């Protein structure tokens, strides 16, 4: 008999078999849902993190673009740090960029392959620029105070305590720039995406140039108080170089002004012309065989010819030795400058007395020194005395604190950049600092081994350099390939007064027997970089032959130039490029500076 239990007349279903619980105690469907939720949450976090990094990147990019716009109006070098207001606005932009790039999520994202390299590069650029501007701000504040009259006290005395404080600030700024440059140099632009690589290269180049400018300036600032008499009185010679008769360093030594500096006070002590510093029988210092081969004994026998060498420390040492033969007294240093730089200083100080009556300023001063003086005072000694008195009046005006400090600083900066103002110290520790900067003019004895030179030396013993228009340009740059180079061209044009024979005194325009009056004869010397190949000189497109010698590890090629009144001549040399750039040292003339730099487009 069937005994199966029934419910409402239907058979009962068999109960499902019992199963043991799963490991961990969680049924599989629940675990899958948890994994999906975790993955979704993680994905959301990645998306949010990416969005956040993207937002931060946008903030950084916007701030850097703002900084770039502001940088177009701010020249971040040692002389322009006084733009404190501009730097404050710039710092606000760089701070925003740095804050965005220092975000913790950003730093975490830098570990992501490829993307991390791009983010790290942006962070390094942003933080480095911010450090540079932040480091410059304190120096800017102090410089602003100095240039607002805080540098000089009663009677024009320099405030050495204030200068010392600024020197410390500038040194701190230089340290910040050097550290930023080191960080930026570790970034490889070639590993970055195109839109990022170029801005990084520009940032590297900008900070590199800033470091090369501010670093030497900071070192000079460190020795400036002592050189201005903080540790005791100093005696300096100021050389008035006369480009009417060219020498490699700019012009003959036309006059020498003795200056005493004590605790910031500057006083003119004596004025001597070349008549007072007459030639001697033997060189005042031993000359090397190389110097004798290039310039003969005249380099050391005549003070006028001490500037024949393009190395200013050598010029200064020779003049100091000449001075000692006359006065018996040693000097602590030598400064050299020319009428173009002096005219810029006078524009800042205000007109200075003209020994012939009236006042001199600007272009009128240059014309009076290089042209009118020889008409009014045709004798060589009389014209030199006029030159010396004008130079003394300018030194006295600067020493008395006349003029606008900012314009004086700008004029001095321009004079240094154009190699029209150079400084030498007899103190070895100070000279090491000066020689490492362009202010030292140490072409052969300083750290300028890669720099070539193209120098002019008057061979007529006249004063026609006042009528010489010189211009230096570059062309035919070859920036790629195994031997990158560029062609430097010096264009010379002579334009003396029309009736040369009657209009100019003999001391100006009569070059000697067999040469027509008004003709300019010049020895042009092309100096290679140290251990470099000889520079081939082309005169008006044709190779120019000349004498080949060596000096201080450089090859020197000397060729002759002859210019009749109204004539033009081009002298061209091919210069090797180092890291896409070259700086050519030249003779500062009335119309051209003493150095010109070429850089390949980045």
Cα-based angle 200, 201, 202 (whole degrees, multiple of 5): 90
Provide the mean pLDDT of the chain.
Answer: 83
Q: Is the dihedral of CA 217, 221, 222, 223 positive or negative?
A: positive
Average the pLDDT over each of 168-172, 340-344, 401-405, 556-560 and give the range with the smallest value.
401-405
Q: Is the model's pLDDT at 69 over the cut of 70?
A: no
Structure tokens at 414: 């321009």
- Pairing type for strands 453-458 and 581-586 reads parallel
Q: Is 372 exposed, middle or buried (0-12, 13-18, 19+ CB in 10 A)?
A: middle
Q: Is the model's pLDDT at 254 over the cut of 50?
A: yes
Structure tokens at 62: 């916007």
d(CA 311, CA 322): 17
The whole-number average pLDDT for the span 173-189 is 89
Tell me how crowded residue 565 is: count the other CB atoms within 10 A of its CB. Answer: 18
Kindly state the greatest CA–CA separation across the chain: 159
Place of tokens 């031997």: 483
Let me know: does 140 contact 84? Beta carbons within 8 Å.
Answer: yes
> Model-level pTM?
0.83
Tell me how crowded residue 56 is: count the other CB atoms within 10 A of its CB. Answer: 22
Average the pLDDT over each of 115-119, 335-339, 554-558, 560-564 and give the range with the smallest value.
115-119
d(CA 184, CA 98): 14
pLDDT at 403: 82
Q: Does residue 30 or residue 71 have the better pLDDT?
A: 30
CA distances from 508 to 340, 464, 467, 516, 568 (A): 19, 6, 10, 13, 20
- Taking each helix axis from N to C end, the angle separating 339-349 and 380-399, rounded to the nearest 10 degrees, works out to 40
Average the pLDDT over each of 32-36, 139-143, 334-338, 537-541 and give the range with the smallest value.
32-36
Structure tokens at 428: 């070895």
Let me know: does 193 contact 200? Beta carbons within 8 Å.
Answer: no
The whole-number average pLDDT for the span 322-348 is 93
d(CA 571, CA 563): 12
Structure tokens at 501: 């024979």
Q: Is 550 exposed, middle or buried (0-12, 13-18, 19+ CB in 10 A)?
A: middle
CA distances from 168 to 142, 219, 222, 231 (A): 10, 10, 7, 17
Structure tokens at 540: 């008006």
d(CA 394, CA 342): 7
Q: Is the model's pLDDT at 79 over the cut of 70?
A: no
Where residue 229 falls (left for φ over 0; alpha for ψ -120 to 50; beta otherwise) is left
| pLDDT band with cut points at 50, 70 and 90 for residue 27 | low
Place of tokens 């103190």: 427
Place of tokens 């020493």: 399
Spell out a b/e string for 207-243, using b for 16 or more CB atoms within 10 Å of the CB, else e.
bbebbebbbbbbbbbbbbbbbbbbeeebbbbbbbbbb
Q: Does residue 256 or residue 173 have the better pLDDT?
A: 256
The residues, any chain, with a CB within 8 Å of residue 359's CB and separated by 6 or more, are 351, 352, 353
Tell me how crowded residue 51 is: count the other CB atoms within 10 A of its CB. Answer: 10
pLDDT at 73: 43
Is 552 strand, coil or helix?
Answer: coil
pLDDT at 148: 64
Strand partners of residue 582: 598
Q: Please state, for a pLDDT cut of 70, what percent of the chain lies above it.
A: 81
Structure tokens at 545: 């032959």
pLDDT at 72: 47
Query: Tens digits of per-residue pLDDT, 445-474?
Result: 999 999 999 999 999 888 999 999 999 999
d(CA 268, CA 393): 9
pLDDT at 402: 85
d(CA 440, CA 424): 6
> What is the total residue count of the chain?
602
Cα 567 to its chain centre, rounded Å, is 34
3-state secondary structure string across 245-286: CCCCCCCEEEEEEEEEEECCEEEEEEEEECCCCCCCCCCCCC
HSE-CB at 217 with a 13 A cutoff on CA atoms is 26
Termini Cα distance of the chain = 106
The residues, any chain, with a CB within 8 Å of residue 101's CB and separated by 6 or more, are 56, 60, 119, 122, 123, 126, 127
Query: Tens digits of per-residue pLDDT, 508-548?
Result: 765 666 778 889 999 999 999 999 999 999 999 999 999 99
Structure tokens at 337: 């400058």
| pLDDT band with cut points at 50, 70 and 90 for residue 308 | very high
Place of tokens 């410089």: 143
CA distances from 407 to 38, 56, 349, 543 (A): 68, 43, 8, 45
d(CA 405, CA 418): 20
């Amino acid at each position: 008999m069937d005994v199966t239990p029934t419910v409402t007349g239907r058979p009962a279903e068999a109960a499902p078999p019992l199963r043991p619980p799963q490991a961990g105690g969680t049924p599989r469907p629940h675990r899958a849902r948890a994994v999906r939720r975790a993955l979704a949450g993680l994905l959301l976090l990645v998306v949010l993190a990416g969005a956040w990094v993207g937002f931060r990147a946008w903030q950084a990019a916007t701030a850097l673009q703002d900084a770039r716009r502001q940088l177009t109006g701010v020249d971040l070098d040692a002389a322009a740090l006084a733009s404190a207001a501009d730097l404050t606005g710039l710092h606000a932009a760089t701070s925003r960029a740095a804050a965005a790039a220092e975000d913790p999520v950003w730093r975490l994202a830098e570990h992501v392959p490829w993307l991390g390299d791009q983010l790290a590069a942006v962070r390094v650029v942003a933080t480095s620029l911010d450090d540079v501007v932040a480091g410059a701000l304190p120096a800017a504040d102090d410089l602003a105070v100095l240039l607002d009259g805080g540098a000089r006290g009663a009677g024009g005395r320099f405030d050495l305590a204030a200068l010392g404080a600024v020197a410390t600030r500038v040194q701190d700024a230089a340290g910040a720039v050097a550290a930023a440059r080191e960080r930026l140099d570790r970034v490889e632009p070639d590993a970055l995406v195109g839109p990022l690589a170029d801005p990084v290269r520009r940032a590297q180049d900008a900070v590199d140039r800033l470091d090369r400018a501010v670093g030497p300036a900071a070192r000079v600032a460190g020795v400036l108080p002592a050189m201005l008499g903080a540790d005791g009185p100093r005696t300096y010679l100021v050389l008035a170089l006369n480009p009417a008769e060219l020498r490699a360093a700019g012009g003959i030594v036309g006059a020498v002004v003795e200056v005493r500096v004590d605790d910031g006070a500057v006083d003119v002590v004596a004025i001597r012309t070349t008549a007072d510093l007459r030639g001697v029988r033997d060189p005042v210092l031993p000359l090397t065989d190389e110097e004798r081969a290039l310039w003969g004994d005249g380099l050391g026998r005549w003070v006028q010819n001490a500037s024949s060498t393009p190395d200013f420390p050598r010029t200064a040492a020779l003049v100091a030795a000449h001075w000692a033969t006359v006065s018996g007294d040693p000097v602590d240093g030598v400064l050299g400058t020319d009428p173009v730089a002096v005219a810029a200083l006078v524009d800042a100080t205000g007109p200075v007395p003209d020994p012939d009556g009236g006042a001199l300023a600007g272009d009128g001063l240059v014309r009076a020194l290089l042209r009118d003086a020889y008409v009014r005072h045709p004798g060589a000694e009389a014209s030199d005395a006029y030159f010396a008195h004008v130079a003394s009046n300018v030194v006295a005006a600067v020493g008395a604190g006349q003029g606008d400090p900012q314009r004086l600083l700008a004029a001095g900066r321009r004079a240094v950049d154009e190699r029209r103002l150079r400084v030498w110290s007899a103190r070895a520790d100070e000279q090491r600092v000066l020689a490492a900067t362009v202010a030292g003019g140490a072409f052969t004895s300083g750290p300028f081994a890669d720099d070539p030179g193209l120098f002019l030396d008057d061979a007529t013993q006249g004063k026609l350099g006042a009528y010489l228009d010189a211009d230096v340009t570059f062309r035919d740059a070859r920036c790629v390939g195994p031997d990158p180079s560029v062609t430097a061209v010096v264009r010379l044009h002579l334009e003396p007064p029309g009736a040369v024979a009657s209009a100019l005194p003999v001391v100006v325009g009569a070059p000697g027997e067999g040469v027509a009056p008004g003709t300019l004869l010049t020895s042009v010397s092309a100096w290679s970089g140290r251990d470099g190949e000889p520079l081939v000189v082309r005169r008006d497109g044709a190779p120019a032959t000349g004498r080949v010698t060596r000096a201080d590890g450089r090859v020197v090629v000397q060729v002759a130039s002859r210019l009749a009144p109204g004539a033009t001549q081009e002298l061209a040399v091919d210069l090797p490029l180092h890291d896409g750039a070259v700086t050519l040292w030249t003779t500062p003339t009335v119309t051209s500076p003493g150095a010109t730099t070429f850089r390949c487009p980045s």
